Structure 1
Amino acid sequence: MKSDRRKFITSAAAGISSASIALTLGKFNHLNAQQTNQSDNKSPYGPLKPTADLTSGLSLLMLPEGFSYQTFGWTGEAMSDGRRTPSSHDGMGIIENRDGIFTLCRNHERGGLRDSFAAAQHTYDSKAPGGTTNLVFDGNAGKFISSRASLSGTVRNCAGGVTPWGTWLTCEETTVGTEETSEPQHAKTHGWIFEVPANGQGNPKPLKAMGRFVHEAIAVDPETSFVYETEDRGTSGLYRFRPNKAQRLHDGGTLEMLRVPGHPDLSKGVKAGAIYGDLEWVKIDDPELAHTPETDNSLGVYMQGRKKGGTNFNRLEGIWYYGGSMFFDSTSGGEAKAGQIWELNITENTLRLVFESPSKEVLNMPDNMAVSSRGGIIICEDCGITTVQSPQGIKRYFPRLHALSPEGEIHVFADNNAKIETPYKGIKGDFRGSEWTGAHFSPDGKWLFANIQTPGFTVAITGPWGKGYL
């Protein structure tokens, strides 16, 4: 397919609707020239201020003037199926849009030996507490409708991604299992991807051909059904799964690792704007091999790719399909180890470093990411409280929700302000150091959904998006 200089993305990057966004690729080529310290740039949305939650009345977020939000899906809340909402909210996406009634699937990054929170028919390992919940939100009325457990018996469901055929792929960020060296030791192996439909009837059968490793996120090319997978380790690869049958991942396929010829390591030492071509993909012969022989190092898949020339990155996390390209981030990549954002152009078979954070003050450890209907990229930070020494003294930053414009400017769109001094739903404490997760936009661009992982709640943000690029 011939490459177009103006690129488009379907809503939620999963073919949910045909709505497109006008993000100009040419403008993104200028990102590299502007990535000096941009923390003082003025956001088109204005400065942040404490903003009260319409549900609880608590000022849980810092937002620009004119924006409002509501919370739902708090940890411990009763769900519509009578079960309690699990903790540790993480990756999330819209997998169904029924005329503005959205079904979201939300991950819960829980580990250890604890009971499944879902029904037996939707449980993989009865002593594994991770999984997913499905939530329904009426975008027309601005109202949360229902929630239910959709899959459990998994471990550390960190991120994942939506598919063009209306499902959620949830990923385990671990390789614990039945091995004697596994801590803890489970009844079943872990480190897999599972598929969850909008009706909440999650299939507890792992997609083993997609690999057993420390998964983070996925994104799907709607043209081919190829699934691109990230790996969250200090030594990590970018993977591609080619299914035997389009939209039928349980029918198996081939797992491959990206090889950038002549460049075995792109975790640092890369000039902003650098473009690499003639990309190759090397086959992973045994995608179920979690560890290298006689170890428990979680590098079984990675080392197979490396031995064939696969390229190394530093902690790959968020990934998003965008009109012929995969945008993904390296959480600890770059000279400052504060993060890189890459573009894998599928149509041109090139890889480009789009943005590198020059300091933790500008952007610190990008994680989940998504593209808005107006052309900006929303980026979650996964860094805890950031302390920076400046000429004015020590500055402390709580985890932020960043906005990256098509012109290359980066702004803080929201801050975590969740300090709950009076118990709410049995929750009390200072949670301002907790990470943002699962950020993504509704197909109409009206709503931004995201999570604060701890204590665990989901937010739906709306406001004058037209003032800027989100």
Structure 2
Amino acid sequence: MRRRTFLTVVPAAAAFSGAVWSEAAAASVSAGASPYGPLGAPDANGMALPSGFTGRVVARTGQSVGGTLWHPAPDGGACFADGTGWIYVSNSEVPLVGGASAIRFRADGSVVRAYRILSGTNLNCAGGATPWNTWLSCEEIFRGRVYETDPYGARSAQPRPAMGRFKHEAAACDPDRRVIYLTEDETDGCFYRFTPTTWGDLAGGRLDVLCGLGGDNVEWRQVPNPTPGVLERQTRHQVSAARHFNGGEGCHYAAGVCYFTAKGDRKVWAYDTARQTVTAIYDGTGTLNGVDNITGLRSDLYVAEDGGNMEINIITPDGVVAPIMRLDGQSRSEITGPAFSPDGSRLYFSSQRGTSGESAGTGGITYEVTGPFRR
């Protein structure tokens, strides 16, 4: 049976719905005062942060961290609990060797070691964490694949072709409906939903695409061939009613809402699973530019910029968009992989090309910010 939903672009008062967003949201999302206060002067690493926050560099491309050379072009990332410490995983968006690496931290934030968890893949861009503590690393190439990897380094990575062969970007798990949402980085990319045959096992399942029925009405329809050949019709073109989003990027699920970004549209979208609506909660008219990776903490969203002012912006439930971090002197780079430590006290992210701005990502830098984040 098809589930019918609705696609609209409405004021934030309606868009901020579900358990995450306050019903008393502002009439529109607009630039305002950050709940953390204004940014201060850049520190020695070029990070401008609010008062009470501190930052450090934890890894640089080509340099040893925890006994392992850190990979080029660091991209999507996530954190996983590890005893009293935690692990941060990061993709590498370069061809042929791509893959992903992990850094294991002690409870005091010191590095235990680093190691590879995926190698020999292509342009691993974003991805997503699963409730069973694996990392979905996504290839942003023609007929790209999703690889399920082990952040703890004990099991080998596995390709998951049932999740589709397309230009993958990000993934977000919805444990309530036991599905995984997927974005596609094409100018006419789609928004997908993968339903595993068995929750926790991604070897098989059904891939659906969000479709329009005329007006605002949309529904999920099955993709007939999730793994098309090179000369076959690709997934985003197999269902004529499919809705298209210009440059799908980050994806984040929380409390009944899946948020995803589209850099070409300059929008942050919210798919409300309870109300069965998809709404634009941010339309590119505030301080946030180059919308890209997205994560969340408590009731707040954090969106990283691809270019723009090289900022991470917060979007609060009351409709305020404001920068909480800016990198100076890196205008030819992009911010990638924002993720919070399990206790919410530390935020990790990377500058993919760093101060060099080189397309190969040889100047990549991975950072940590510590402070009184709202949690």
Verify same fold: TM over 0.5: yes
Aligned to 1:463: 371
Same amino acid, percent of matched pairs: 30
Aligned residues: 351
Deviations 1:143-190 (A, max 9, x none): 232210111111110000000110000000002xxxxxxxxxxxxxx5
Deviations 1:50-70 (A, max 9, x none): 343xxxxx3321111221012
Aligned to 1:135: 103
- Hey, what's the Cα distance between the residues in 1 that align with 2:282 and 2:220? 24
- Hey, what's the Cα distance between the residues in 2 that align with 1:164 and 1:443? 13
CA contact (8 A) 1:399 1:433 kept: no
Note closer, same or farther for the CA distance 1:290–1:83 as it changes in structure 2 (3 Å cut).
farther
Aligned to 1:310: 242
Aligned to 1:349: 276
Note closer, same or farther for the CA distance 1:27–1:457 as it changes in structure 2 (3 Å cut).
farther
Task: Say which of 431, 439, 446 aligns to 2:338.
Answer: 439
Note closer, same or farther for the CA distance 1:450–1:342 as it changes in structure 2 (3 Å cut).
same
Note closer, same or farther for the CA distance 1:303–1:145 as it changes in structure 2 (3 Å cut).
same
Task: Say which of 208, 214, 219 aligns to 1:262.
Answer: 214
Aligned to 2:132: 165
CA contact (8 A) 2:150 2:157 kept: no
* Alignment partner of 1:448 is 2:375: no
Task: Say which of 38, 41, 54 aligns to 1:50.
Answer: 41
Aligned to 1:91: 76
Please state whether the residue corresponding to 1:219 is helix, strand or coil.
strand
- Hey, what's the Cα distance between the residues in 2 that align with 1:24 and 1:35? 12
* Alignment partner of 1:244 is 2:197: yes
Gaps of 5+ in 1: 9-22, 53-57, 112-127, 176-189, 264-275, 294-298, 334-338, 387-397, 420-430
- Hey, what's the Cα distance between the residues in 1 that align with 2:24 and 2:105? 34
RMSD of aligned residue pairs (Cα, Å): 2.1
Task: Say which of 24, 30, 48 aligns to 2:21.
Answer: 24
- Hey, what's the Cα distance between the residues in 2 that align with 1:163 and 1:347? 21
- Hey, what's the Cα distance between the residues in 2 that align with 1:404 and 1:450? 17
- Hey, what's the Cα distance between the residues in 2 that align with 1:201 and 1:77? 24
Aligned-partner residue type, residue 365 of structure 1: G
Deviations 1:321-361 (A, max 9, x none): 1111211111121xxxxx111111223322222221126xx
CA contact (8 A) 2:124 2:140 kept: yes
Structure having greater relative contact order (Cα 8 Å, sep ≥ 6): 2
CA contact (8 A) 1:191 1:215 kept: yes
Note closer, same or farther for the CA distance 1:246–1:44 as it changes in structure 2 (3 Å cut).
closer
CA contact (8 A) 2:47 2:327 kept: yes
Aligned-partner residue type, residue 158 of structure 1: C
Note closer, same or farther for the CA distance 1:226–1:304 as it changes in structure 2 (3 Å cut).
same
* Alignment partner of 1:281 is 2:212: no
Greater Rg over alpha carbons, structure: 1
Aligned to 1:180: none
* Alignment partner of 1:156 is 2:123: yes
> Is the strand fraction higher in 1 or 2?
2
Note closer, same or farther for the CA distance 1:202–1:212 as it changes in structure 2 (3 Å cut).
farther
- Hey, what's the Cα distance between the residues in 2 that align with 1:6 and 1:231? 25
Aligned to 2:169: 216
Aligned-partner residue type, residue 134 of structure 1: A
Aligned-partner residue type, residue 132 of structure 1: A
Deviations 1:293-343 (A, max 9, x none): 4xxxxx6111003x2x1111111111111111211111121xxxxx11111
- 1:97 positional shift: 4.0
- 1:376 positional shift: 1.4
* Alignment partner of 1:415 is 2:352: no
Please state whether the residue corresponding to 2:237 is helix, strand or coil.
helix
Gaps of 5+ in 2: 1-15, 354-362
